[in-house]
Amino acid sequence: MTTMHEVDYKIYGDDMQYVEVELDPMEAAVAEAGGMMYMEDGIEMETIFGDGSQQSSGFLGSLMSAGKRLLTGESLFMTVFQNRGVGKKRVAFGAPYPGKIIPVHLVEIGGELIAQKDAFLCAAKGVSVGIAFNKKIGAGLFGGEGFIMERLQGDGWAFIHAGGTIYQRELGPGEVLRVDTGCIVAFQPNVQFDIQFVGKIKSALFGGEGLFFATLRGPGRIWLQSLPFSRMADRIIAAAPRAGGKGREEGSILGGLGRLIDGDNS
């Protein structure tokens, strides 16, 4: 049985946050490769093969653990940050884009959390980061982001990141909430997740919300984000000038006229 490391932490910032984890001697935290912001002298890094829990025995177990992570689009490797010095040491992990860092004490929610791909930021050593398949055929065919999700298991602290503003809600038994698929951050495993068709073809084609939405049915706790990274990326790409294009004077009354003169009717 793997011992969870009881780390202390503090979250800094508003829209571009980072979490600073305080480690006692020999305590450790795990994170995705490239997530570290800074670390104090005395903390040593080690790249490991697999999900970071070190619950798997032997090479075959590590290989299966790493293969599961590969299915979610994550790296085969994770990084362990262990305090090998004297006294408390700190290591910090930065958010990849504007949003909020959500601390979740897994033991308080039953020891398991289902999270969107790329939501995991870091955790106390001993937390397992695996995958969760949604067995509903609707989610499998049309869910996009929601088909293969991350499963965080353990009884320590885990930190997940979400874009924009966070909405946390406790769904009652049988209570249903319809959500844009990209806005789901995480939920407890007893929450039922499925994908449904919008229903009205005109709404689907011209409403701008897509053909499908997610349904979350309680009981259980859910976390939603107001700004999925995919939505932000789409807006940036749509607003970017074409290669070789001239300045658009977006802030002036000549903006539209300038685009017509340049031959840009989009």
Can you give the pLDDT at residue 196?
A: 79
Can you give the pLDDT at residue 230?
A: 79
Does residue 171 surpass a pLDDT of 80?
yes
When the pLDDT of each residue in the chain is averaged and rounded to a whole number, the result is 78
Instruction: List the domains of the chain with CATH numbers.
Output: 8-241 (3.60.160.10)
Mean pLDDT confidence for 81-106:
94
Could you tell me the pLDDT band of residue 1, with boundaries at 50, 70 and 90? very low
Three-state DSSP at 265 gives coil
In one-letter notation, the amino acid at residue 5 is H
Supply angle C-alpha 63, 65, 67, rounded to 5: 70
Q: How far is CA 210 from CA 19, 80, 195, 227, in A?
A: 34, 40, 12, 16
Q: Where are the alpha helices (DSSP H) in 107-241?
A: 137-142, 201-206, 229-239
Does residue 235 surpass a pLDDT of 60?
yes
> Can you give the pTM of this predicted structure?
0.76
How far is Cα 93 from Cα 88, in angstroms, rounded to an integer? 17
Can you give the pLDDT at residue 12?
A: 96
* Nearest in space to 168 (alpha carbons), one of 144, 188, 148, 189: 188
